[in-house]
Amino acid sequence: MKPLHESLPADPLAALGEWLDEAWEQRVVPNANSMVLTTVSMQKGEILPSSRVVLCKHYDRGNGYLVFYTNYHSRKGLELEQQRNAAAVFHWDAMGRQARVEGIVLRSPAEESDKYFASRPRGSQLSAWASEQSDPIASREALVAQLAAVEERFPGEVPRPPHWGGYRLWITALELWTEGEFRLHDRGRWIRTVAIDDDGVAHPDAWNVSRLQP
């Protein structure tokens, strides 16, 4: 197992990029770009976390944000609109690696979501229209009927649904973890501030790094 460098880099973004690339290229699991995303909601004065798997479809290693796509009206979407702080974790068991991310989630620019949506197979495009993700439905047949209605509505090109698109998770904290012998794991944690201005533009600050005990 390759340990973290003796001296941790001042900026961890390239290292995360290498980990993502290696996991993808070595196909360590079928969806090497999957991450567990945790969002929170407030109910009766209590903070309630919820987690699910999403695919990281892009990583901007210059700026340090991860992009995933979803339905903005889904449970995660609604939670993110209320509380934009979220956490995510990648686990590549075969590589003895874990990457933990905390950050601020902002919607991707519409043009970027349009471009990605246009690149998807027609079936996936239709599903995005047919599914009111996270809402209950009476039966599987009802869902299939919703899909049939959408197929009829869009015989040609399928536009992106306004309630479907990308989110950018701007990393404010990153932990790179490598498995060590006898649980003497290696852990580096980097934190930075990301200010969001009134126009919703992110301004990341410099990183602070520390080594954590396993």
Ligand X SMILES: Cc1cc2nc3c(=O)[nH]c(=O)nc-3n(C[C@H](O)[C@H](O)[C@H](O)COP(=O)(O)O)c2cc1C
| Packed helices 122-130 and 140-153: angle between N→C axes, nearest 10 degrees | 120
Residue 93 CB, nearest approach to ligand X (Å): 15
Which residues does 148 contact at the CB level (< 8 Å), separation at least 6?
A: none
Q: How far apart (Å, rounded) are the C-alpha atoms in residues 89 and 36?
A: 5
Single out the residue of 54, 66, 150, 158 in contact with ligand X (rule: CB under 6 A). Answer: 54
Residue 37 CB, nearest approach to ligand X (Å): 8
Verify binding: residue 74, ligand X, rule CB under 6 A. yes
Single out the residue of 4, 16, 76, 128 in contact with ligand X (rule: CB under 6 A). Answer: 76
Number of residues that bind ligand X (CB under 6 A): 15
**Contact region with ligand X (CB under 6 A), list: 53-61, 95-103, 139-147, 179-187:** 53-61
Task: Name the residue nearer to ligand X (CB basis): 53 or 110.
Answer: 53
Phi-psi region of 65 (alpha: psi -120 to 50; beta: other; left: phi over 0): beta
Strand 202-204 versus strand 194-196 pairing type: antiparallel
Q: How far apart (Å, rounded) are the C-alpha atoms in residues 128 and 71?
A: 8
**Contact region with ligand X (CB under 6 A), list: 11-19, 46-54, 109-117, 195-203:** 46-54
The DSSP call for residue 2 is P
- Applying CB under 6 A, the residues found at the interface with ligand X are 31, 34, 50, 52-55, 68-70, 74-76, 133-134
